[in-house]
């Protein structure tokens, strides 16, 4: 493999956001990998926030966490899942993080006393970050997605970075516009005008797209392709049809119907080495044909503005459930259950019995907490498969303390600092951060090792004594209560190697078919063809219910 390959693909959005630019980015990465290239993917968010950790999930979707502890946009999760690569902090930047490093460099005299200007120094910093990501990820092609849409005032400097790079290395840069073709609700023709305007906007930033991915509810007909090509000044074969799909894992397969990988490689002056999308075709086929289903409920609270927000707030959990279900050749049927409903009307708890399994995911603060705790009690008593994630594990510990260990009023100090039994308490190093109001990137973040106890459900899932999982939390099981809870039958099946931090709790198989919860976030490491061991065992048990 020639060592010196260094190519750049940029993905920008036109017309409107939310048309699947992140999935398009990841899928382009996947099809180029299938041609034998080492690919990495980056996301640039136009926010001033330095990272995604302080943003509300109902507004911005899930906060994804990388091994190195970087808190980032949920698109990074799509990249990791589709590329099957662990990414690094170099792969994520925001306007805030770029300005922060330019300002820090300037303060350290790294610009040698020159006048530091928005142009060129900000775009140059963006380019140097992409180069760093290429090196760090040992990749030959970097695909960089620019958040938002062209024409937004706030991403103009990123377009400028593309322009500067294209000017210098025209054979090494491909610009892809992901656009949207609306149609009126009467099913009339797809409209191309908004795409034409988006291209004009790019033109005014000194850029011309090389490829247009046309998202629409249906595949593009010849006439529409022709119209876009003519009006947007590109060849017809450079207009790629991207119709709605049932499942994001179909997108790479769909792109190849228009030979997108060969097209991009030709523009980058690269020759394909292999062709390997068979697994993906099989997966797409399985999802579309299998009749087997597994009904899973997610008890959550980030409901905000309805279904869309919901899927965004818990996207990695949903994907992890899918991966595990596909492993057993089943399609998951996922339903949302608002934890607060159980507080208003406890009779609704009975509704949990209709699911084959329930996931209680992570969360913060007090809203919905008592509802989740009563749901956990119901699942424990009625032997319904339960998987708790982070807050889900903390609340399961509280429920067990209250109901089985006789610790009435037990709680987490996050919700009730005055509780007589603080079974979940703040990590010592976190106390100072909170006192100093130092909230950004200060949680226990990223990958930490954990030891797994033999003879437990966790061990039979992982089949290894030492694992590494990603974290994002401030609180933990209070070590003072571990012995007491163990005596009352709660099993701590995973813990930090020094046994100070509890990582997994479970109930023995004789008592419950699957009652397992983890302090870490297993959903962040699940991949389409490598379902996470805990999700896999959870779905396996759920399918038997």
- Say which residue the tokens 């996931």 belong to: 359
32 or 415, CB closer to ligand GLN? 415
Strand partners, 518: 389, 504
- From 92-100, 102-110, 294-302, 470-478, give the range in contact with ligand GLN by CB under 6 A: 470-478
Nearest distance in Å: CB 396, ligand GLN: 12
Residue 537 and residue 321 in contact, taking contact as beta carbons nearer than 8 Å: no
Residue 475 and residue 424 in contact, taking contact as beta carbons nearer than 8 Å: yes
- From 31-39, 119-127, 289-297, 359-367, give the range in contact with ligand GLN by CB under 6 A: 359-367
Is residue 472 a contact residue for ligand GLN (CB under 6 A)?
A: yes
- From 34-42, 216-224, 269-277, 360-368, give the range in contact with ligand GLN by CB under 6 A: 360-368
Q: Which of 77, 127, 76 is nearest to 98 (CA)?
A: 127
Position of minimal CB gap to ligand GLN: 362
Nearest distance in Å: CB 392, ligand GLN: 7
Please say if 512 is a catalytic residue: no
Q: Which of 73, 312, 414, 425 binds ligand GLN (CB under 6 A)?
A: 414
* Secondary structure percentages of the chain, helix, strand, coil, to 5: 45, 20, 35
- From 27-35, 124-132, 259-267, 467-475, give the range in contact with ligand GLN by CB under 6 A: 467-475
Nearest distance in Å: CB 381, ligand GLN: 24
Q: Which of 28, 390, 410, 458 binds ligand GLN (CB under 6 A)?
A: 390
Residues 475-504 close enough to bind ligand GLN by CB under 6 A: 475
Measured in whole angstroms, how far is the alpha carbon of residue 224 from the centre of its chain? 33
- Cβ neighbour number for residue 261 with a 10 Å cutoff: 22
Nearest distance in Å: CB 361, ligand GLN: 7
Angle between helices 533-544 and 315-327 in degrees, nearest 10: 60
Is residue 363 a contact residue for ligand GLN (CB under 6 A)?
A: yes
- From 11-19, 27-35, 246-254, 358-366, give the range in contact with ligand GLN by CB under 6 A: 358-366
What character string, x for contact with ligand GLN (CB under 6 A) and - otherwise, covers 310-349? ----------------------------------------
Residue 6 and residue 245 in contact, taking contact as beta carbons nearer than 8 Å: no
394 or 526, CB closer to ligand GLN? 394
Beta strand 92-94 with 357-360: parallel, antiparallel or unpaired? Answer: unpaired
- Say which residue the tokens 């292999």 belong to: 274
d(CA 460, CA 452): 10
Is residue 378 a contact residue for ligand GLN (CB under 6 A)?
A: no
Catalytic: which of 62, 256, 319, 390?
390
173 or 317, CB closer to ligand GLN? 317
Q: Which of 29, 69, 362, 528 binds ligand GLN (CB under 6 A)?
A: 362
- Cβ neighbour number for residue 465 with a 10 Å cutoff: 11
Does an H or E element contain 545, and which?
none
Residue 352 and residue 384 in contact, taking contact as beta carbons nearer than 8 Å: yes
Residue 493 and residue 452 in contact, taking contact as beta carbons nearer than 8 Å: yes
Omega of the bond leading into 54 within 30 degrees of 0 (cis)? no
Residues 129-148 close enough to bind ligand GLN by CB under 6 A: none
Is residue 473 a contact residue for ligand GLN (CB under 6 A)?
A: yes
d(CA 536, CA 541): 9
Please say if 370 is a catalytic residue: no
Catalytic: which of 473, 523, 532, 537?
523
Residue 531 to residues 312, 322, 324, Cα–Cα distance (Å): 20, 9, 5
Please say if 414 is a catalytic residue: no
243: CB partners within 8 A, 6+ apart: 215, 216, 217, 218, 219, 220, 254
Catalytic: which of 471, 521, 532, 537?
521
Show the tokens assigned to 505: 């709790």
Query: Which residues make up the interface to ligand GLN (CB under 6 A)?
Result: 362-364, 390-391, 394, 414, 472-475
The residues annotated as belonging to the active site are: 390, 521, 523
């Amino acid at each position: 493999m020639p060592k010196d390959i260094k190519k750049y693909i940029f993905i920008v959005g036109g017309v409107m956001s939310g048309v699947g630019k992140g999935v398009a980015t990841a899928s382009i990465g996947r099809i180029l990998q299938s041609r034998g290239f080492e690919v990495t993917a980056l996301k640039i968010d136009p926010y001033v926030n330095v990272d995604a950790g302080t943003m509300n999930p109902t507004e911005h979707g899930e906060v994804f966490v990388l091994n190195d502890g970087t808190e980032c946009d949920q698109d990074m999760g799509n990249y990791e899942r589709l590329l099957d690569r662990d990414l690094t902090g170099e792969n994520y930047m925001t306007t805030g993080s770029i300005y922060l490093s330019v300002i820090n460099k300037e303060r350290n005299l790294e610009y040698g006393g020159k006048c530091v200007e928005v142009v060129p120094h900000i775009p140059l910093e963006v380019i140097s970050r992409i180069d760093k990501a290429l090196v760090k990820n040992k990749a030959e092609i970097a695909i960089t997605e620019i958040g938002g849409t062209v024409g937004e005032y706030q991403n103009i400097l990123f377009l400028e970075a593309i322009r500067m790079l294209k000017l210098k290395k025209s054979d090494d840069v491909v610009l892809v516009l992901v656009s949207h073709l609306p149609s009126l609700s009467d099913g009339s023709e797809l409209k191309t005008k908004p795409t034409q305007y988006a291209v004009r906007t790019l033109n005014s930033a000194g850029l011309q797209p090389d490829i247009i991915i046309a998202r629409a509810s249906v595949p593009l007909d010849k006439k529409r392709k022709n119209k876009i090509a003519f009006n947007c000044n590109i060849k017809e074969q450079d207009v790629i049809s991207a119709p709605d799909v049932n499942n994001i894992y179909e997108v790479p397969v769909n792109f190849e119907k228009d030979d997108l990988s060969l097209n991009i490689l030709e523009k980058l002056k690269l020759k394909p080495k292999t062709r390997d999308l068979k697994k993906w075709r099989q997966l797409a086929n399985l999802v579309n044909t299998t009749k087997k289903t597994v009904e899973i409920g997610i008890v959550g609270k980030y409901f905000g503005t309805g279904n869309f927000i919901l899927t965004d707030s818990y996207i990695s959990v949903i994907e992890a459930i899918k991966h595990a279900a596909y492993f057993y050749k089943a399609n998951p049927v996922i339903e949302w259950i608002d934890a607060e409903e159980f507080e208003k009307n406890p009779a609704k708890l009975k509704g949990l019995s209709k699911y084959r399994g329930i996931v209680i995911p992570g969360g913060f603060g007090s809203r919905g907490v008592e509802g989740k705790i009563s749901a956990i009690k119901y699942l424990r008593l009625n032997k319904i498969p339960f998987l708790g994630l982070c807050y889900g594990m903390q609340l399961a510990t509280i429920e067990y303390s209250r109901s089985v260990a006789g610790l009435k009023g037990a709680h987490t100090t996050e919700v009730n600092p005055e509780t007589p039994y603080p079974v979940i308490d703040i990590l010592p190093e976190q106390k100072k951060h909170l006192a100093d109001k130092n909230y950004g990137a200060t949680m226990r973040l990223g990958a930490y090792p954990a030891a797994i106890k033999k003879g437990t459900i966790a061990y039979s899932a992982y089949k290894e004594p030492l694992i590494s999982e990603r974290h994002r939390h401030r609180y933990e099981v209070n070590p003072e209560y571990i012995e007491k809870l163990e005596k009352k039958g709660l099993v701590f099946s995973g813990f930090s190697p020094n046994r100070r931090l509890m990582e997994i709790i479970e109930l023995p198989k004789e008592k419950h078919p699957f009652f397992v919860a983890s302090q870490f976030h297993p959903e962040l490491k699940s991949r389409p063809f490598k379902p996470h061991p805990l999700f896999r065992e959870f779905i396996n048990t759920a399918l038997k219910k």
